[in-house]
Structure 1
Amino acid sequence: MNNVQSLNHTAWDCKYHLVWIPKYRKKILYGELRKYLGDVLRELASHKESKIHEGHLRGDHVHMLISIPPKYAFSQIVGYLKGKSAIHVARQYMGRQKNFTGLHFWARGYYVSTACHDEEVIRQYIKRHEEIDKKLDQLGLFK
């Protein structure tokens, strides 16, 4: 009960393990884009009163542990994060300022599980992926 948050009439501790991939699972989430997307996703989550507790962008997928208030549907938040971040990528890296029709950065689906009692296991899993990426970066495999 130490992570309980509250709204006016609700006390809650709703955390989710969320994973999604870029379209066609292309390994495009490296370098400058990776650093940029981390900040964008955290900012977008805060717009919907959500918080990313742990997150890691792998070359071909995104992992995060996110808490979302119960007043929002989970699918609404995921759609918001994926949609708005895709627009940011199109503006920043594709030179598009408007008319985003037909641009698909993220694949349609996602994986989600609730993180009630196994939160620490999920945190360690995400951190382990981060350590593996650092080793790969040192070897120069994804630059």
Structure 2
Amino acid sequence: MDEHIYKRHNKSLLLYHLVFPMKYRREVLTKEIGESFQFICVGISERYEVQFAEIGYESDHVHFLVQSVPDMSVSKLVTIIKSLSERELFKKHPEIKRILWGGNLWTSGYYVNTVGQYGNKDVIRKDIENQGKETEYKKIHGEQLKLWD
């Protein structure tokens, strides 16, 4: 999982930590359902440009370490994993629908964080500062990302 993906016009190493909670935080995942879920994720890897480095779960949520390609947005990645796993798990384990009152498997939300193997925020800042040492570095922006309503 520490290998770059080579495409025609880019080289990338994009790793994401994703967490998907079950709808209503219901305790749905058992050993048997976890094994089915693993099999489903292998199928997703074979059809899409997604590689699961690690999958772990507790009864009410799932953690992933996923590698993907730059032209697949995080929201598209999440949609693929959630929709295909939900459909296949409901087919293979219809008893899940009773636990979830016939609704969806996943909450609409999720957690995502990027994972950096070759440097953290401070290392990358230092690399940027050291670019073009023959000229003086001028920082033009340094705020935390803010989201507007």
TM-score, length-normalised on structure 1?
Answer: 0.72
Aligned-partner Cα distance in 1 for 2:112–2:118: 14
CA distance in 2, matches of 1:55, 1:68: 15
Q: CA deviation at 1:118?
A: 8.2
**Which residue identity lines up with residue 27 of structure 1 in the other structure?**
E
SS at match of 1:28: coil
Question: Residues 104 and 53 from structure 1, CA distance in 2 versus in 1: closer, same or farther, beyond 3 angstroms?
Answer: same
Partners of 1:35 and 1:48 lie apart in 2 by 20
Alignment of structure 1 residues 21-32 onto 2, 5 Å: 21-32=21-32
Q: CA RMSD in A?
A: 1.9
1:112 maps to which residue? Answer: 112
1:88 corresponds to which residue? 88
How many residue pairs are counted as aligned between the two chains? 112
Identity, % of aligned pairs? 26
5+ residue gaps, structure 1, are: 96-101, 120-143
Deviations for 1:119-143, whole angstroms, at most 9, x for unmatched residues? 9xxxxxxxxxxxxxxxxxxxxxxxx
Partner SS for 2:79: helix
Asked if 1:73 is matched to 2:73, the reply is yes
What is the SS of the residue equivalent to 1:70? coil
Residue type at the aligned position of 2:19 = V
Query: Deviation per CA, 1:71-93, whole angstroms, max 9, x where unpaired?
Result: 11111011111011111111111
More helix by share: 1
1:51–1:66 contact (8 Å) kept in structure 2: yes
* Structure 2 residues without counterparts, runs of 5 or longer: 96-101, 120-149
Taking structure 2 as the reference length, the TM-score comes to 0.69
Cα distance between partner residues in 2 of 1:64 and 1:57? 9
SS state of the match for residue 117, structure 2? coil
Distance of 2:61 and 2:39 partners within structure 1 = 16
Equivalent residue for 2:17? 17
Partner of 2:57 in structure 1? 57
